[in-house]
Structure 1
């Protein structure tokens, strides 16, 4: 019995000593993300993007540093679509869970709050879920984002429409008064002026509102050729429904967020037809990728796992994770934050989002925005011309 007891003690000591070695075989990432609340649709799509990356990398052996492979693990917390809660949870990830490699949340307000926490504690964040310009004007060193910034969101859409027949001349812009949507609207206004449109309506509305009838009536009185909506998924559904109710019939309706989500058509059915959406990414792009091999392979793997086609929220999450992975591999470490940061600053590689480079603020540079249109109940890439699946339908038929 004494010998058995002695052996148990020895084995326990061996396990305790070996535990750090086993732990070192895993690289832990952390994410506070909207799994419930008003941004749950988008947040869960970003999480799905993280998960397909994790699964694919681990099937290939893991992240390679030197001659050794490390498995990937991601610890999630639900921020409930609350930026303040998101910040507290990222602080918990860093200070209690000991994780300094942070995958970003969804939404500019949550990225704004959480990136400040990452900066405070010397953690590193790569995010594929927010595009507000304001994220990159604070002098931070530890935030990198893969989205085209908000002020450039609607530029390609307005550029695409400028020479259509009959020529559109007037634009109405309506936007939610959150950080991201406000900056999208500011950029849309600047782009409209650049392309020679006359802006006949420019107004915000309270974040999260469920009734925009007053706004729709005001816009109808201006009779714009193009209606631009800058908000989130729930906002776009309200705008479309109430535009139909009040017979607001512009030649084109376009949104910064909404049409790219699978639930847009589910929620609106036939009323979603002909609506344009700005997209960070679409499934038909022909980019290569260091993890999946190609954009087409990513789409296939995602559909196989989740039984739905990915949209740009999911692809953004995957791309952010891939960039994080490649920077760690290039740096040759997953613990030296400074070396990983330097690898990100010098990043220049083709990914699902195209060739990605960052400026000194961590903002992606040189990346455009494809435009999709809902046609026969499906998203179709209609711009730019060299990747378009079909020609855009313009002008939009009146509501039935």
Structure 2
């Protein structure tokens, strides 16, 4: 976001495939050339808690949630959004604690969470913390029905590290695993780089580049203002399917995913094409 004023000054389109802020509607009014491709943090929290509410109504989980989060802007903001969504849906936060960035041992927090016997565990974590939480939860035999961790859960290194042992683990993002477009994208990405892409920001980033390419082609010349206007109003064919931005914000992408048979599959929102049911309870840990 730091570069947004400079982009606006020169009428350059800025497609933010890593922006995640609840200020998107406000900032879109300030800068008509900035596009928010991941939506807002509040939307992710609401998608998760709405999904948990559905599982509770179906009798699959109870109302106790244990939540931990890294003590920086990302963790604090994500936890605040989840806290509000949990209250709206009538869940009980039996643990709600932060941990310092760079923590090397989270077992005390995990033991504290385990002692509360929650059906749902949520960690708003960075990749090193996500691995630490996942490793130490196994050691402590802490395996609630819903196990949700943060950034890194969607990444190919996570799949390579845990293999079948990550079945049922959840996080942000997700893809329509049966989509021919997604399958083709994953195959081409692996052929070029030797690795699969992640299942959150990577396909969104690629879709943003497809939008930019098609906008330029339709305008037919490098007219920055016209290209920005085309992005604002046009409909585009992408790896995620047809996309039309709403007030400069990308809607209709998966906000909750779960590892299912080797695919980080989108499970919410439930009205999206290619969504699959949540696996509850999460299977036992496998080493």
Q: Does 1:215 align with 2:109?
A: yes
CA offsets, 1:47-73, max 9 Å, x none?
xxxxxxxxxxxxxxxxxxxxxxxxxxx
TM-score computed with the length of structure 1 as normaliser: 0.60
Tell me if structure 2 keeps the 8 A contact 1:173–1:189: no
Give, in whole Å, the separation in 2 of the partners of 1:283 and 1:397. 20
1:146-225 superposed matches below 5 A: 146-162=37-53, 163=55, 164-225=58-119
Unpaired runs of at least 5, structure 1: 1-111, 287-293
Residues 282 and 117 of structure 1, relative CA distance in 2, 3 Å threshold: farther
Tell me if structure 1 keeps the 8 A contact 2:68–2:99: yes
Computing the radius of gyration from Cα coordinates, the structure with the larger value is 1
Give, in whole Å, the separation in 1 of the partners of 2:274 and 2:42. 23
**How far off its partner does 1:116 sit?**
4.1
Q: Quote the residue 1:381 is aligned against.
A: 265
Unpaired runs of at least 5, structure 2: none
Q: CA RMSD in A?
A: 2.9
Residues 356 and 388 of structure 1, relative CA distance in 2, 3 Å threshold: closer
Give, in whole Å, the separation in 1 of the partners of 2:154 and 2:45. 14
Give, in whole Å, the separation in 1 of the partners of 2:161 and 2:136. 13
Using CA pairs under 8 Å that are at least 6 residues apart, name the structure with larger relative contact order, 1 or 2.
2
Tell me if structure 2 keeps the 8 A contact 1:145–1:320: no
Q: Quote the residue 2:282 is aligned against.
A: 396
**How far off its partner does 1:235 sit?**
2.0
Q: Does 1:303 align with 2:190?
A: yes
Tell me if structure 2 keeps the 8 A contact 1:154–1:256: no
Tell me if structure 2 keeps the 8 A contact 1:151–1:187: yes
- 1:346 aligned to 233, 257, 263, which one? 233
Q: Quote the residue 1:290 is aligned against.
A: none
Tell me if structure 2 keeps the 8 A contact 1:244–1:399: yes
- 1:131 aligned to 2, 16, 20, which one? 20
Stretch moving more, 321-330 or 185-194: 185-194
Give, in whole Å, the separation in 2 of the partners of 1:342 and 1:388. 31
CA offsets, 1:350-387, max 9 Å, x none?
42234433344x322x31426433345x1252624862
CA offsets, 1:229-262, max 9 Å, x none?
2233222111112223333332110134322211
Give, in whole Å, the separation in 2 of the partners of 1:188 and 1:273. 23
**How far off its partner does 1:196 sit?**
2.9
Tell me if structure 2 keeps the 8 A contact 1:184–1:256: no
**How far off its partner does 1:397 sit?**
4.2
Q: How many pairs are equivalent?
A: 277
